[in-house]
Amino acid sequence: MTPELSKSMQMVAPGMQRERPIVLHVDDDIASLMMAEGALEDAGFDVIQAADGQEAIERFKEHEPDLIIMDAVMPVMDGFEAISTIRELSIGAHVPILMITGLDDLDSITRAYDIGATDFLTKPINFFILPHRVQYMLRSKLTADALRSSQSKLDNAQRIARLGNWDWCLCTNELSWSREFGRILGVEEGAGIATWAEFINCIEEPDRTNVRLLSEQSVEEKLPFNVEFSVVSRFDDSVRRIRLEAEPHAQESGEWAYMLGTIQDITERTNAQKQIHNLAYYDLVTGLPNRAQLTEQLRYTLKSSKRNDTKFAVLFLDLDHFKQVNDTLGHDAGDDLLLQVANRLTSVVRESDMISSNDNDPESQHTVARLGGDEFVVLLGVINRVEDAARVAERIAQSISVPYDIGSSTVTVTTTIGISVYPADGDDTESMMKSADVAMYHAKESGRNGYQFYSRDIHEQALSRFSLEADLRSAIENKELTLAFQPKVEMSTGRLAGVEALTRWTHPERGLMNPGEFIPLAEETGLIIELGRWVLRESCKQMQLWIEAGWPPMTIAVNCSSVQFTKSDVIEDINEAIQYSGLDPRLLEIELTESLLLQDGEKGIQILSDMKALGIQTSIDDFGTGFSSLSYLKRLPVDKLKIDQSFVKDLDKDSGDAAIVTAIITLSHNLNLTVVAEGVETQEQFDILRGFKCNEAQGYLISYPLDIEQFSLWLDSYREQILQKVSGL
């Protein structure tokens, strides 16, 4: 080696070539070394030499040559062992190595490649060709270096961006992916995810189905798609939020062959967004929605109330004397109190959820919010009646006034509540809030710890219905209700066919009230269940008493509300009434309205069958006002139909109702049902119905509903009439 040569042996960064690349030539054959040196130096290379493997390794470490020409068979250490050792060095992993083997020595060639040789040449070496071979090897080394460096840059970029890429072969379904893809999902290279289906299986439900469907659709329509989903990382079981982008690609032939795409871990970004959202929309002290969130919810509620024509209420609350707690016990105590108040509010509102007609509808949801300071707002998303808001306000006032444990002290606060009701008190979010606020100030003026509606009328209406409700409750408890009885007659013979029990209420101040005034209230408040139970027992008992007094047995019909069926075990109540009275069950008839059967057909059939099993009779009340399909009617185990009064009313006039009535009667007879006409007031109506072969009639023509004494008298005179009729025949 010449001294000039060593000068040019400067170190070079990987991927760049020295001006004169250095070739390390290892051979124990001096002649060979010399011949090669001449050829290579002429071709622009610097050459260093070694006589065996051992020396080659030292030379390599010392000079980091750009390429090695390595003889296979040498003393001390052969070429194979030297290559293995060099490949293990970090600087030797990628250096091109040209192995020189004996001619026809196939075994050596194979072995050379196995241990990491880049190429081979057989002896005798053609020294004219050698520099060219070296040249080309160096050139491809540069390409490989550039590729490796770009790969590593890409890998780093993907790692920094938490972005992995993949490609999915649509023919084989195989999936290949970048290193970052594996890191995001928490899978090792070569483990687990080799197909698209296996990838889909990593995704948590319900996202999984969604991604599957989207990808199938995208393949089908050859359109790009993107989607977000969650996976549980297999590295640390953390839940990661992932965004996937995908694009179909065609082969040169035009056939759709690949789906290419990326996945990006957006967990941190999503969490940050959530946090920002929480800060913007929730109150830090109580965790309740803040004013911004409330306004949004209010806007939403307003829209849906307009659309569905429903009512909602805003309750504006202010704690009385909160400032004193803050001043005497400090701000931490104040915060603690606010938190406890918030919790009580939330639980009162949750318990009051039943006031909302459709709890599952997000639009009808109730919201408890803190505006700041000691001001809270409860938004009742849907209310059926203004009293609902009053009831919640009363519960809130009651719940807030229970003493609080704050540290070692016990504190009592009360609240004043103003209520605005949509649509009466405002048409937009601002006026609804303002009305509630104004109402709250009125409430404060008229003494703390109370509630006040914005509008006087509504306030009075709520109070009056509230008190009526309380009255009805006590009327049921104190047995202020009575029964009226209205007979039904058989049209062909005039014989008494049965009697219907109708409830009456004599209110201490309002006087005699008809069911129309209190049954709907009883239904809305659930009091109907208690009321219905009482009617069943009393009706059965009264009929049994009459029978025991010697009257001929006749059926007693009792009305049942659909609320009794949906919210209580009416079969149990009927059974109980029969046992209690000792009445023959065949004499009890239950009247149900068509609407119950229309609400839930299958349930209706079930209930009617259960009634049949008890041995009682059933009839459909107010028939013709609903829209029962005839085929459905056929499946119903009922005994009777009662034609609604509205069809009977104008029968004697030229109204067209006659057609409906004859149709109902014909239909009923075909189905083997008894038909009863209700509300028969005139002889003319009676005669027409009899002409239509209607079976029974009920109405003022025969008798008004009567109390027990009146009915006993009526029965007496009726028997007289019948006896006269019978004897007169």
Classify residue 44 by burial, with Cβ atoms within 10 Å: 0-12, 13-18, 19+.
exposed
Contact positions with ligand C2E (CB under 6 A) in 628-657: 645
Beta strands 511-513 and 225-232 are unpaired
The residue within the footprint of ligand C2E, chosen from 3, 516, 550, 728 (CB under 6 A), is 516
Q: Which stretch binds ligand C2E (CB under 6 A): 6-14, 120-128, 275-283, 674-682?
A: 674-682
Specify the stretch interacting with ligand C2E by CB under 6 A; choose among 63-71, 133-141, 291-299, 557-565: 557-565
- The 431-470 contact track toward ligand C2E, x by CB under 6 A, reads ----------------------------------------
Q: 235-240, long-range: CB within 8 Å, 24+ apart, which pairs?
A: 235/186, 236/186, 238/267, 239/204, 239/267, 240/184, 240/185, 240/265, 240/267
Quote the least distance from Cβ 621 to ligand C2E, whole Å.
5
Q: Which of 622, 639, 657, 696 binds Ca ion (CB under 5 A)?
A: 622
Query: Does the N-terminal peptide bond of residue 3 adopt cis geometry, omega within 30 degrees of 0?
Result: no
Contacts of 373 (CB under 8 A, 6+ apart): 322
CB of 619 to Ca ion, least distance (A): 8
Of 561, 619, 628, 668, the one binding ligand C2E by CB under 6 A: 561
Cα 302 from Cα 377, distance rounded (Å): 16
**What's the CA gap between 677 and 682, in Å, rounded?**
12
Q: Output 302 or 577, the one with its CB closest to ligand C2E.
A: 577
Residues 6+ apart with CB under 8 A from 358: 364, 382
**Alpha carbons 620 and 597: distance in angstroms, whole number:** 9
Residue 702 beta carbon to ligand C2E: minimum distance, rounded to whole angstroms:
8
Those residues whose C-beta lies under 8 Å from the C-beta of residue 376, and which sit 6 or more positions away, are 288, 317, 318, 319, 341, 342, 345, 368, 369, 370
Q: Does 677 bind ligand C2E (CB under 6 A)?
A: no
- Give yes or no for residue 542 binding ligand C2E (CB under 6 A): no
Nearer to ligand C2E, 314 or 502 (CB): 502
Interface with Ca ion includes 621 (CB under 5 A)? Answer: yes
Residue 684 CB, nearest approach to ligand C2E (Å): 13
Q: Out of 244, 369, 502, 577, which residue is the one contacting ligand C2E (CB under 6 A)?
A: 502
Stretch binding ligand C2E (CB under 6 A), from 104-112, 190-198, 461-469, 512-520: 512-520
Round to whole Å and give the CA distance between 538 and 560.
14
Which span sits near ligand C2E by CB under 6 A: 143-151, 166-174, 402-410, 677-685? 677-685
Contact stretch for ligand C2E (CB under 6 A) within 3-11, 279-287, 468-476, 514-522: 514-522
Out of 559, 581, 628, 695, point to the residue binding ligand C2E (CB under 6 A): 559
Task: Detail the DSSP E strand segments found in 436-587.
Answer: 451-453, 481-490, 496-507, 511-513, 555-559
Hey, which residues between 688 and 727 contact ligand C2E (CB under 6 A)? 699-700, 705
Q: What is the closest distance, in whole angstroms, from the C-beta atom of residue 545 to ligand C2E in the complex?
A: 18
Q: Is the dihedral of CA 590, 594, 595, 597 positive or negative?
A: positive
| Binding status of residue 589 toward ligand C2E by CB under 6 A | no
CB of 442 to ligand C2E, least distance (A): 39
- In angstroms, what is the C-alpha Rg of the chain? 47
Angle at 621 between CA 616 and CA 603, to 5 degrees: 65
Total number of residues binding ligand C2E (CB under 6 A)?
A: 23
Which of 176, 209, 492, 514 binds ligand C2E (CB under 6 A)? It is: 514
Binders of Ca ion among residues 558 to 617 (CB under 5 A) are 559, 591
In this structure, the number of other CB atoms found within 10 A of the CB of residue 235 comes to: 14
Q: Are 305 and 421 in contact (CB under 8 A)?
A: no
CA angle 438, 441, 443 (to 5 degrees): 110
Q: Nearer Cβ to ligand C2E, position 449 or 645?
A: 645
Cis before 224? omega within 30: no
The residue written with tokens 């040196």 in the block is 37
| CA proximity to 680, closest of 701, 655, 653 | 701
Would you call 365 helix, strand, or coil by DSSP? coil
CB distance 499 to 489 below 8 Å? no
Cβ of residue 395: shortest distance to ligand C2E, in angstroms? 28
Q: Which is nearer to Ca ion, 371 or 680 (CB)?
A: 680
* Sole window of 32-40, 92-100, 411-419, 513-521 interacting with ligand C2E (rule: CB under 6 A): 513-521
Taking CB under 6 A as the criterion, the residue among 82, 535, 577, 611 binding ligand C2E is 535
Query: At its nearest, how many Å lie between ligand C2E and the CB of residue 583?
Result: 17
Sequence-separated (6 or more) residues with CB below 8 Å from residue 671: 633, 634
202 binds, among Ca ion, ligand C2E, none (CB under 5 to 8 A by kind): none
From the list 180, 589, 622, 657, which residue makes contact with ligand C2E (rule: CB under 6 A)?
A: 622
Instruction: Copy the structure tokens of residue 268.
Output: 């941190």
Does position 621 interact with ligand C2E (CB under 6 A)? The reply is yes
Residues near Ca ion, by CB under 5 A: 559, 591, 621-622, 678
Residues near ligand C2E, by CB under 6 A: 486, 502-503, 514-516, 519, 532, 535, 559-561, 591, 621-622, 645, 678-681, 699-700, 705
